[in-house]
Amino acid sequence: MDRAILLMLASILAGFALLRIPLEGTFLASLEPVTTIIGILAVVIFSLVLIYKGFMSLLGK
């Protein structure tokens, strides 16, 4: 399996981790909107890249 694909899957998991991390009651609570946006962007972008690579693989390119 291609290392880049595994790296993208790890990035998607990291994005989900940023979405689920509890920051209430800590000094990082003010950064929660930023971590949410970064998590959403990571999941969406890397998922789209994986879908694109899958289509290219199916088409033989």
Residue with tokens 């971590």: 35
CA triplet 51, 56, 38: central angle to 5 degrees?
30
pLDDT, tens digit, for every residue of 12-41? 999 999 999 998 989 989 999 999 999 999
pLDDT at residue 38, rounded to an integer: 96
pLDDT at residue 1, rounded to an integer: 64
pLDDT, tens digit, for every residue of 4-13? 889 999 999 9
The pTM of the full predicted model, rounded to 2 decimals, is: 0.83
pLDDT at residue 2, rounded to an integer: 77
